[in-house]
Structure 1
Amino acid sequence: MNKNIHVLIAEDMEPIRKRYVKMLSETDDIEVIADVSNSEEAIEQTILKQPDIILMDIEMEKKDAGLRASKELLLQFPDLKIIILTVYEEDELIYTAFQFGVCDYILKNAKQEEVVTSIRNVYEGRTPLRPELATKILGEFKRVKAYESSFLYAVNIVTSLTETELEILKLLMKHTSRKDICRIRYVEMSTVKTQIRNILRKFNKKSIEEVIGMIDSMNLYDFICRQSKDL
């Protein structure tokens, strides 16, 4: 049988990564075309080699590195299929991954048969919700309010802010008055009010105080500053 399913493996722990390479090399219809140890390499090799499926570790150089790489790749390649690898069945992380468009998840201690079956099912477009996965997703929908106050939710919103919105938010977090913001940014009050409304809408909050409280509780100010510099 021709090896017609091309797989890229992204996993930072070499013994685990090599285990996946070995088990998949023993499968007639699956070929590992690249194995990498971090999210940056995962993105680079995906662009270069165009795999059919990625086995993506959720947690590599950072806790959410795999999630971020998955989100970025699925925006670039909507038809790409990603299966996330995880040590723990953490509902929030799995739910977030599925929101981004990931097809399935596998525990890192899964047996060869389970890994291969998942890859084949995803490749062929057959991804029925396993009972445990359906339970997780339904449970997360019921806890959507709690999710909205989660770290990953907040990070996701911050990355969606424009450069102007980030600058306004930084000033507000320094308790700068709206009048002073107008002076600092050389804009009218109506413009600042519109930008603040946009920030509130993205965070789904009624007041800037709620937004600042959320950011403070998760220590995201430095992250916001880095985001602003990167834009």
Structure 2
Amino acid sequence: MFTYPSTDPMSNRGPLRPIKVAVAEDHDILRQDFSEMIENQPGLEWVGAAATGNEAVELAQRQEPDIMLMDIEMETHQDGIEAANRLSLLRPNIGIIFLTVHEDEETIYKAYTLSNARDYLVKSAEHDEIIRCIESAYTEQQHGSSSMSSKLKSEFSRLKQTESKLIRFMGILSQLTQAEREIIKLLLAENKVEHIARIRMVETVTIKSQINTLLKKFGMKRTREIVGLIHELNVAFIFE
């Protein structure tokens, strides 16, 4: 269980107050369930609930919670994301924990890139997990740290970039000739241009010309960039 020292060691403010938590959820039963969970948890203080993105922003400005549980989908598909984005400008000190029905990577990625989200939870999460998430988000907020959210944002960003690169790579792959595929296979085996020419029994100038065409198709300047991309995407098996 999350416990508090009797005084704040970083200041002379005296006894620490509970973590102020607000809830933004459009389903009545879930909103009540989350609210009661917070009210009954020592160390947490429930400061209000909202059913729409606009209500969430108004509530946050009025009560200034430390943490807000924010449903991603309320009135519209991304109502919670839009509300969180507004709060990141109006009340940047409020930590946002997104609530979602499904672990939809696309939606979660967008949520993290548009706001100062601290974490996200699937609505079916156990109460203990939700409480731990609130406490962790608050601790990060107090220490100016966002290790969890930064790692998640970084990972989502990496996955998104990899997805974009893979889509582009597959488009280029469909345009490659059989000869170009074989040259890439030999490049992956770390063969030099002269060796590739001998293996394919053609002039070196022919291989150089084919490699120049390959580089143009990939939009790159060096063959090692093509090799690096293939290893990064883990698709070398395509050329085996």
| TM-score category (smaller protein) | 0.5 to 0.7
The answer to whether the 8 Å contact 2:97/2:121 transfers is yes
Q: What letter corresponds to residue 37 of structure 1 in structure 2?
A: A
1:7 and 1:52 in contact (8 A); partners too = yes
TM-score under structure 2 length normalisation: 0.56
Q: Partner of 2:49: helix, strand, or coil? A: strand
Relative distance call for 1:104 and 1:36 in structure 2 (3 A) is same
Q: 1:144 to 1:42 in 2, by over 3 A?
A: farther
Match of 1:165 in 2: none
Is the partner of 1:32 in helix, strand or coil? Answer: strand
Q: 1:142 corresponds to which letter in structure 2? A: T
Shift of 1:143: 2.8
CA distance change for structure 1 residues 135 and 49 in 2, over 3 Å: closer, same or farther?
same
> Aligned equivalents of 2:18 and 2:164: distance in 1?
39
**Aligned amino acid, residue 14 of structure 1:** D
* Structure 1: gaps spanning 5 or more residues: 148-231
Q: Does 1:10 align with 2:24?
A: yes
Letter in 1 for 2:139: E
1:138 aligns with 2:158: yes
Distance 2:23 2:85 in 1: 16
User: TM-score normalized by structure 1?
Assistant: 0.58
Q: Does 1:38 align with 2:73?
A: no
| Equivalent position SS for 1:88 | coil
The Cα shift of 1:3 comes to 5.3
For residues 23 and 137 of structure 1, do their structure 2 counterparts lie closer, same or farther at Cα, with a shift above 3 Å needed? farther
Q: In the aligned structure 2, how far is the partner of 1:117 from the partner of 1:93?
A: 23
State how far apart, in whole Å, the 1-side matches of 2:111 and 2:27 are. Answer: 20
The whole-number CA distance in structure 2 between the counterparts of 1:141 and 1:115 is 30
Match of 2:202 in 1: none
**Residues 104, 127 of structure 1: 8 Å contact kept:** no
Selected match of 1:112 from 112, 123, 127: 127
SS in 2 for 1:61: coil
Cα offsets for 1:90-127 (capped at 9, x unmatched): 11111111112211000000001110011000101065
Instruction: Report the 3-state secondary structure (helix = DSSP H, G, I; strand = E; otherwise coil) of the residue aligned with 2:36.
Output: helix
Once the two structures are superposed, residues 2-32 of structure 1 have per-residue CA deviations (whole angstroms, 9 ceiling, x without a partner) of: 7510011000001111111121122101111
Alpha-carbon distance change, 111 to 137 in structure 1, aligned in 2, over 3 angstroms: farther
Give % identity: 31
1:103 to 115, 118, 121: 118
1:142 Cα deviation from its structure 2 partner: 1.9
**Equivalent pair of 2:71/2:98 in contact (CA under 8 Å):** yes
Tell me, yes or no, if structure 1 residue 53 matches structure 2 residue 67.
yes
Alpha-carbon separation, structure 2, partners of 1:146 and 1:65: 31
| Correspondence for 1:122 among 131, 137, 141 | 137
Does residue 22 (structure 1) correspond to residue 28 (structure 2)? The answer is no
3-state SS in 2 of match to 1:124? helix
Structure-2 separation of matches of 1:145 and 1:72: 31
Give the RMSD, CA atoms, in angstroms. 2.5
- Structure 1 residues 127 and 13: alpha-carbon distance in aligned structure 2, compared to 1, 3 A threshold: same
Structure 1 window deviating more from structure 2 (57-66 vs 92-101): it is: 92-101
Q: Is the 8 A contact 1:83 1:104 kept in 2?
A: yes
Q: Which runs of 5+ in 2 are unaligned?
A: 5-15, 168-240
Q: Residues 72 and 146 of structure 1: is their aligned pair in 2 closer, same or farther, counting only changes over 3 Å?
A: farther
The question of whether the paired residues in 2 share the 8 Å contact of 1:3 and 1:28 is answered with no
Secondary structure in 2 matching 1:143: helix
Alpha-carbon deviation of 1:145? 7.0
